[in-house]
Amino acid sequence: MKKSIKSKSQIYLNSVVISWFSVAVVSQIIFATYVILFYGKATLSGHSEYWNKILPHGYVNGEVIGNLVVGLHLFLAAVIIVGGPLQLITKIRNRFRKFHRWNGRIFIFTAYVLSITGLTMVWGRGAVGGLAQHISISINAILIIIAATMTIFFAVRRNIKIHSSWAIRLYLLVNGVWFFRVGLFFWLFVNNGPYGYDPKTFQGPFLTFLSISQYSIPLILFELYLFAKRKNIAILNYSASFILFLFILIIAIGSYSISTSLWFPMMAE
């Protein structure tokens, strides 16, 4: 088979994308470990009320169904954060096809359930933040449902190229909640504390911006990457690489900040 020769700028862009993915996966593994250790330990030790150290609306005494919904949301959060990268790693996908299919089915099912339980929590039980943030995360949920449906649709039709693009969009969308947390702690780190929002009400222009950015910026960057790949013009490849490089820095700083000040301490609780 004829192998296409990649230009220097394409090699550069691919390396930046791989670096981005590697940094993101390390941070997501820490996030998943925190979810498993903190919420898992609290639940298994019979102290679900400890969820409320982080989630003000997490556990409500006597509300069995509502608490089960939150518990399911937290359990599936860990499943999806771990399952996502496993779907996207080419070597795993090519060598373990059966695993890819099963993990994919679990991933899609989990994405639907997380979105539906998330919507129930925001609009039924209440969540931190204001109306703008609630609308924004609900749009994230709807986009997850659309991307999950498109991902299966093209997998069933064996249109692997379009299936892969939708699978990446789905991965970015389900990680919106992770982007939000890492983005917030990057902001806290560079401003040396809260700025642009009220930490008591957890509302303000910066948080509204962040709640929209948590899914729109990753999606825009992905479309930019696809565009650069399609056009294959050196200046475009270098510009996309530079923007992605800045994004890596934000994720690395934000992940360091949230891990040391929240995730690691809560794992040890």
**Footprint of ligand HEM on 206-235 (CB under 6 A):** none
Least gap, CB of 151 to ligand HEM (angstroms): 14
Q: Six-digit token pair at 263?
A: 């995730």
Buried b (16+ CB within 10 A) or exposed e, 145-177: bebbebbbebbeeeeeeebbbbbbbbbbbbbbb
DSSP string, 175-204: THHHHHHHHHHHHHHHHTS--SSBTTTTBS
Q: Is 119 in the site for ligand HEM (CB under 6 A)?
A: yes
Nearest CB to ligand HEM, comparing residues 11 and 68: 68
DSSP string, 225-257: HHHHHHH--HHHHHHHHHHHHHHHHHHHHHHHH
Residues whose CB is less than 8 angstroms from the CB of residue 113 and which lie 6 or more positions away in sequence, other chains included: 72, 76
Is there a contact between 144 and 174 (Cβ–Cβ < 8 Å)?
Answer: yes
Least gap, CB of 137 to ligand HEM (angstroms): 4
Number of residues that bind ligand HEM (CB under 6 A): 28
Residues whose CB is less than 8 angstroms from the CB of residue 236 and which lie 6 or more positions away in sequence, other chains included: 227, 228
Q: Is 57 in the site for ligand HEM (CB under 6 A)?
A: yes
Nearest in space to 222 (alpha carbons), one of 160, 158, 179: 179
Q: Is 128 in the site for ligand HEM (CB under 6 A)?
A: yes
In eight-state DSSP terms, residue 53 is G
**Footprint of ligand HEM on 64-93 (CB under 6 A):** 73-74, 77, 80-81
Stretch that binds ligand HEM, among 108-116, 151-159, 226-234, 239-247 (CB under 6 A): 108-116
Least gap, CB of 39 to ligand HEM (angstroms): 7
Nearest CB to ligand HEM, comparing residues 17 and 266: 266
Nearest CB to ligand HEM, comparing residues 80 and 207: 80
Nearest in space to 241 (alpha carbons), one of 260, 264, 224: 224
Nearest CB to ligand HEM, comparing residues 25 and 234: 25
Among 9, 48, 140, 241, binds ligand HEM (CB under 6 A): 140
Nearest CB to ligand HEM, comparing residues 69 and 240: 69
Nearest CB to ligand HEM, comparing residues 116 and 243: 116
Phi, psi (degrees; rounded to nearest 5) at 35? -60, -45
Least gap, CB of 12 to ligand HEM (angstroms): 31
User: Measured at CB, which residue is nearest to ligand HEM?
Assistant: 118
Chain residues that interact with ligand HEM, rule: CB under 6 A: 35, 54-58, 73-74, 77, 80-81, 111, 114-115, 118-119, 121-122, 127-128, 137-138, 140-141, 144, 174, 177, 181
